[in-house]
Amino acid sequence: MKFHEASEYQESNNRLFEVYRAKIISLLPTARIEHIGSSSVPGAISKGDLDIFVGVDEYIE
């Protein structure tokens, strides 16, 4: 497994998160969307993955 310095991945992951966030919001306008995991921590060493949390309210009929 290879780990990356923040300078190698964080800027692109932050941009990618914003792209996915906009797409998810268009489909789930009330969802809570957060950039999580090590790539969301400034300066963190990481595998370079982009982790996104999508929280939605429970659906009850």
Q: What is the pLDDT of residues 6-60, one digit of tens each?
A: 999 999 999 999 999 999 999 999 999 999 999 999 999 999 999 999 999 998 8
Q: Is the dihedral of CA 49, 41, 28, 19 positive or negative?
A: negative
* The pLDDT value given to residue 61: 83
The set of residues, in sequence order, having a beta carbon less than 8 Å from that of 42 and lying 6+ positions away, is 6, 10
Compute the distance between CA of residue 23 and CA of residue 45 in angstroms, rounded to an integer. Answer: 27
Whole-angstrom distance, CA of residue 58 vs CA of residue 37? 24
Partners of 33 in the β-ladder: 54
Domains in the chain: boundaries: 6-55
pLDDT at residue 5, rounded to an integer = 95
